[in-house]
Amino acid sequence: MKGNVIVGQSGGPTAVINSSLAGVIKASRNAGIEKIYGMHHGIEGFLKEDLIDLGEYFPNESDLSLLKRTPSAFLGSCRYKLPEIEGHEDVYEKIFDILERHNIQYFLYNGGNDSMDTIKMLSDYASMHDKPQTFMGIPKTIDNDLPLTDHCPGYGSAAKYIATSMKEIIRDNESFGASKPTVCIVEIMGRHAGWLTAAAALSKDVDCSGPDLIYLPEVVFDVDDFIEKVKDLSAKKSSVVIAVSEGVKVADGRFVCELGQSNDFVDAFGHKQLSGCASYLANKVTEATGLKSRPIEFSTLQRCATHLASRTDIDEAYNVGYIAAKSAFEGKTGMMVTIEVVSRDPYLVHYNQYDIHEIANVERKVPKHWIINNGTYVGKQYLEYARPLIIGSLLPYYASGLPKHVTLNNKPR
């Protein structure tokens, strides 16, 4: 090959983001690439020329099996958006200067909607200035809200974690309630799209009643109606468990978590930091009913619980990484790899690529007609969609009773 490769990880980590990294490394090795660079903390680190020589960490193929079992971004992540090209040519000149000095021909970036913007900007700049480098996006987001791909690597493992934990929480909640019903409100990530919260429905089976209500951000939330529904449920059942997205909003557009507190934090992409929706609602339930009501937030556990990752997800994350690299080597640029599901049962997929302009900054939500029971549950279409994505396990390597990981500070010898 005519140059080196660089790969970066961006945005919120997932349980399987390192499987995509493993796919990139394997494809690069198979293609005979000399140097495989990683960006330390994504494009933010790249701009400081903070590069990692991945060949040093993974001198041979067998090391990749531990990388696949390691949660969170091995290379470090960032939330950093490149500025508009016009007026900021210096930033882009710097980037291409770094690429050229390290003879980097292939640029791969693993992330969600916001991160795909980086691929768009760089491939646009390259095309405007006849630069030879190729730029390919590797999808990743537990939020599952990238367009054009059937689903996103990272989602299946988050869904498996959520559904497993819901089963365990429902079992726990059902153990009490002999004299008085107990209410549990589980807050699940997803600012604008309810994919993660919908995964709570997967817990329903012959051995689990599933959550009683599921509230997605796609539907306007009504606090009074919610309280009435909890009252009705607790009159009939001794255990009431509710799944609610962190992103649910009331009719005037405010997030539920903003109703009880001042909350002005925003992250580096300008998104409001959300949390406390379950706490707010649990307090409301206790006020209104006198019942014990427990809020639970999965928080970052839902994106980093690699010990419970879906094998399907791990394999697909590996494949999109591999294919993005291979496509970049073949000269493709300004695209993201997508997953197309040929058949859900038996589950068969193939991979495609789409123009990054159709993907960057676009959010895909749960289809309205998949949301049932007046906006309080998800239907069969969702279950058929999601069930194959959580199948299979990749058992951790245990040492002293705990899953082993590989980290930048723990170079294999």
Rounded to whole angstroms, the Cα distance separating 358 from 50 reads 30
Identity at 276, one-letter amino acid code:
G
Q: Which one of the spans 133-141, 144-152, 211-219, 296-304 is the region binding a copy of itself (CB under 8 A)?
A: 296-304
Q: Is residue 190 a contact point for a copy of itself (CB under 8 A)?
A: no
Q: Is residue 251 a contact point for a copy of itself (CB under 8 A)?
A: no
Report the residue from 91, 259, 301, 341 that binds a copy of itself according to the rule CB under 8 A. Answer: 301
Q: How many residues bind a copy of itself (CB under 8 A)?
A: 80
Among residues 114, 117, 143, 313, which one is catalytic? 143
Site residues for a copy of itself, window 115-144 (CB under 8 A)? none
Distances (CA, A) of 408 to 4, 43, 263, 321: 21, 17, 35, 20
Distances (CA, A) of 191 to 38, 197, 248, 264, 311: 29, 10, 8, 15, 26
Site residues for a copy of itself, window 272-291 (CB under 8 A)? 273, 275-276, 279, 286
Q: Is residue 183 a contact point for a copy of itself (CB under 8 A)?
A: no
Rounded to whole angstroms, the Cα distance separating 53 from 60 reads 13
Report the residue from 55, 147, 177, 260 that binds a copy of itself according to the rule CB under 8 A. Answer: 177
What are the E-state strand segments in 212-358?
A: 213-215, 239-245, 292-297, 335-344, 347-355
Report the residue from 8, 23, 38, 76 that binds a copy of itself according to the rule CB under 8 A. Answer: 76
**Binding string to a copy of itself for residues 361 to 390, with x set by CB under 8 A, is what?**
--------------------------x--x
Residue among 50 and 124 whose Cβ is closer to a copy of itself:
50
Residue in the block written with tokens 């009683």 = 212
Q: Is 143 a catalytic residue?
A: yes
Identity at 319, one-letter amino acid code:
N
What are the E-state strand segments in 303-345?
A: 335-344
Query: What is the closest distance, in whole angstroms, from the C-beta atom of residue 91 to a copy of itself in the complex?
Result: 16
Query: What is the closest distance, in whole angstroms, from the C-beta atom of residue 101 to a copy of itself in the complex?
Result: 21
Residue among 31 and 98 whose Cβ is closer to a copy of itself:
98
Site residues for a copy of itself, window 306-325 (CB under 8 A)? 306-308, 310
Q: Is the dihedral of CA 215, 248, 244, 196 positive or negative?
A: positive
Site residues for a copy of itself, window 19-58 (CB under 8 A)? 40-42, 44-45
Residue among 8 and 194 whose Cβ is closer to a copy of itself:
8
Query: What is the closest distance, in whole angstroms, from the C-beta atom of residue 171 to a copy of itself in the complex?
Result: 4
Tokens for 80?
């950093």
Tokens for 115?
């991160």
Q: Which one of the spans 94-102, 172-180, 344-352, 371-379 is the region binding a copy of itself (CB under 8 A)?
A: 172-180
Rounded to whole angstroms, the Cα distance separating 70 from 396 reads 9
Identity at 367, one-letter amino acid code:
P
Residue among 103 and 175 whose Cβ is closer to a copy of itself:
175
Q: Which one of the spans 56-64, 128-136, 223-231, 392-400 is the region binding a copy of itself (CB under 8 A)?
A: 392-400
Backbone angles phi, psi at 410, to 5 degrees: -135, 60
Rounded to whole angstroms, the Cα distance separating 221 from 106 reads 46
Q: Which one of the spans 52-60, 73-81, 218-226, 316-324 is the region binding a copy of itself (CB under 8 A)?
A: 73-81
Strand partners, 266: 272
Query: What is the closest distance, in whole angstroms, from the C-beta atom of residue 392 to a copy of itself in the complex?
Result: 7
Question: End-to-end distance of the chain based on CA atoms, in angstroms?
Answer: 28
**HSE (side-chain half, CA atoms, 13 Å) at 268:** 12
Question: How far is C-alpha 375 from the geometric centre of its chain's CA atoms?
Answer: 24
Report the residue from 303, 329, 333, 335 that binds a copy of itself according to the rule CB under 8 A. Answer: 303
Q: Is residue 185 a contact point for a copy of itself (CB under 8 A)?
A: no
Q: Is residue 168 a contact point for a copy of itself (CB under 8 A)?
A: yes
Residue among 70 and 118 whose Cβ is closer to a copy of itself:
70
Report the residue from 84, 207, 252, 345 that binds a copy of itself according to the rule CB under 8 A. Answer: 207
HEC secondary structure over 103-123: CEEEEEEEECHHHHHHHHHHH
**Under a CB-based contact definition with an 8 Å cutoff, are residues 140 and 338 in contact?**
no
The catalytic residue positions are 143
